[in-house]
Structure 1
Amino acid sequence: MRVVFAGTPAVAVPSLQTLVARHEVVGVVTRLDAPIGRKRVLTPSPVAVAAAEAGIPVIKANRLDDDVTAQIAALDAELGVIVAYGGLVREPLLSTPRLGWINLHFSLLPRWRGAAPVQWTVISGDAESGATVFQLRPGLDDGPIWSLASTPVGPHETSGNLLSRLSTSGAEQLVDTVDGIASGRLSAHEQEGTVTLAPKLTIDDARLDFTAGLDEVYARLRGVTPEPGAFTEIDGVRVKVLDASPARDRPRLDPGVVVAEGRHVYVGTAGSPLELLTVHPAGKKPMAAADWWRGSGAERMVAR
């Protein structure tokens, strides 16, 4: 099948590479080069790099306007495939390929429609996640489903870990779906169940609230790792929490109270404490929590 692919970040690369191996990818649409790093060097997206390596023509655009629509129409693709492109597909582009567009979405739709489905899956403590391939239409992730695959969420899995895993398994699911559409053996069905929304995370979503229970605090920490990154303020200093672990066998501490026992640093929640393992205090480099504590010279601190 002649396919046009739209995607931008690294999680979309496995899908592109798997499609290239089994179908004719006639063009790739990705977002414009973006400034990266402290020096803000303009850098092509991971999908742009992968497409160039495969010798596929690349259209770079942040908006899918009339000009981009004309460029895509000229490719004469039968099907559009989108994975984390980062922009909206509207008419007339939505109907430009003969079979329209399908989207690989990293949740079990209709749960977690929106920009950050994996993060909200973890934050909410869902036991199960997965990926859905659905037919794109104007509504937010509301199109009929071609395929759905589920997977357990590991008890210590971060959203970054889960998204990486889903990007690999989802690539095979996506291309199997394209195969099924091409052969006519698959049919799509409307979504069923309760709709929940997964809006883009803000920095406020990454703040840890230690008045909540341990499971809730730990789920939020994992859900916002690696981005935007969990943080708290300890004695007035902003501290990112890069890694931590539940300490269910330790005596309870008042919520937010931070103490050390030997090489272990604990912070109280409404339940059992959370052990801080790696932290990144403002103005310093990431470090082991025990080293940070020793350097502070404190006997007791408070996280808010």
Structure 2
Amino acid sequence: MRLAFMGTPEFAVPSLAELIASGHEIVAVYSQPPRPKGRGQKLTPSPVQAFAEAMGLPVFTPESMKAEEAIATFQSLDLDAACVVAYGQILKPAVLDAPRLGCFNLHGSLLPRWRGAAPIQRAIMAGDAQTGVQIMRMSEGLDEGAILLSEVLPIRPDDTAASLSERMATIGATLWTRALAAIERGGVTETEQVGEPTYAKKITPAEARINWARPAAEIDAHIRGLAPFPGAWFEGPDGTRIKALMSAMGPAGPEAPGTVLDDDLLIGCGDGGAVRLLRVQREGKAAQAPDEFLRGYALPLGTVLDPAGAGRT
């Protein structure tokens, strides 16, 4: 098939690789424009752009797919279909209707649960037992299209957004070959979404702050769901911002929420439980294991962290 691929982050790269390997003709790759990155704020191409260029594919990076010129270019490609994975731009009907067979999206949840920008993070943060990847026909509404293929994945107790995203990207990529073959021969079954939708809105910096007054299971899920980016965080006694990048449920901690319960970063929570921090990062420092972190930053037994996160955001 004659395809366009539209995607931006690392999550989308396995899907592009799978489409190339399966022999489809990728006539155009669309990605978000290069953005400033790092200390030097050098313009850096997205993972999808970098991979596509390394494979010798033509790449388009319009600031907006709503612009008339961008729409006209897309319409001129004479596509059979477009495959979309975390592209990051809203597509107008003129774009959705341009390919002969339509535009299709790989989404990282079991729709209609977690429509929107951050489905992987939200599923972990909510304590969901499972999630999935689905290929859907794109429509004007936010992730409202009919489902073509699904694969259910369990969410493991030690999953972070990074580990779950990696599994979902790999498994999701394998769905494209089956989906496109069924679409091409007209044998695909499209199932409308059923149930009350929930929305995976973008994570805000203030929301990432840990509230030690919450139950331990919620705090553990909060930390893992935001790891490694943007990273759940709390303030040390001196106001230093500290990211918690990995955690696990600990033994009961009857002290006040936010109390440091031992010399290995066990922190008491609001329900009498506790969370052990397994990977932390101070501002301007590399991520560290608890023993290494505590050699350079004192959090003595009995220290009480601000439990409700009432400081800066």
TM-score of the two chains, using structure 2 as the length reference: 0.92
Structure 1 residue 287 displacement after superposition? 2.8
Structure 1 residue 274 displacement after superposition? 1.2
Q: Distance in 1 between matches of 2:301 and 2:12?
A: 47
Amino acid at match of 1:279: V
Q: Say if 1:123 and 1:219, in contact at 8 Å, map to a contact too.
A: yes
Superimposed CA distance per residue, residues 87-113 of structure 1 (whole angstroms, 9 cap, x where no aligned partner): 010021111111221110000000000
Structure 2 counterpart of 1:273: 274
Q: How does 1:16-55 map to 2 (within 5 A)?
A: 16-22=16-22, 23-55=24-56
Structure 1: stretches of 5+ with no match in the other structure: none
Match among 76, 79, 90 for residue 78 of structure 2: 76
Structure 2 counterpart of 1:233: 235
Amino acid at match of 2:240: V
Superimposed CA distance per residue, residues 28-54 of structure 1 (whole angstroms, 9 cap, x where no aligned partner): 111111111111111111111221222
Structure 2 counterpart of 1:63: 64
Amino acid at match of 1:5: F
Q: Distance in 1 between matches of 2:62 and 2:50?
A: 15
Distance 1:21 1:252, change over 3 A: same
Amino acid at match of 1:34: R
Distance 1:77 1:37, change over 3 A: same
Structure 1 residue 118 displacement after superposition? 0.4
SS of alignment partner, residue 265 of structure 2: strand
Q: Say if 1:203 and 1:228, in contact at 8 Å, map to a contact too.
A: yes
Structure 2 counterpart of 1:220: 222
Distance 1:283 1:11, change over 3 A: closer
Structure 1 residue 252 displacement after superposition? 3.0
Match among 117, 121, 124 for residue 122 of structure 1: 124
Amino acid at match of 1:20: I
Distance 1:296 1:18, change over 3 A: closer
Structure 1 residue 7 displacement after superposition? 0.5
Q: Return 270-279 or 61-70, whichever deviates more.
A: 270-279
Structure 1 residue 55 displacement after superposition? 2.0
Structure 2 counterpart of 1:5: 5
What do you get for the CA RMSD once the two structures are aligned? Answer: 1.6
Q: Distance in 2 between matches of 1:136 and 1:5?
A: 14
Q: Say if 1:277 and 1:290, in contact at 8 Å, map to a contact too.
A: no
Structure 1 counterpart of 2:149: 147
Superimposed CA distance per residue, residues 54-81 of structure 1 (whole angstroms, 9 cap, x where no aligned partner): 2221111131021111212221111111
Q: Distance in 1 between matches of 2:41 and 2:172?
A: 32
Amino acid at match of 2:241: R
Structure 1 residue 296 displacement after superposition? 4.2
Q: How many residues get paired? A: 301
Match among 299, 302, 305 for residue 300 of structure 1: 302
Amino acid at match of 1:245: A
Q: Return 284-293 or 140-149, whichever deviates more.
A: 284-293
Structure 1 counterpart of 2:250: 247
SS of alignment partner, residue 200 of structure 2: coil
Asked if 1:188 corresponds to 2:193, the answer is no
Superimposed CA distance per residue, residues 197-221 of structure 1 (whole angstroms, 9 cap, x where no aligned partner): 0011111221111111111110010
SS of alignment partner, residue 168 of structure 1: helix
Structure 2: stretches of 5+ with no match in the other structure: 307-313
Q: Distance in 2 between matches of 1:134 and 1:223?
A: 24
Amino acid at match of 2:213: T
Q: Distance in 1 between matches of 2:62 and 2:281?
A: 35
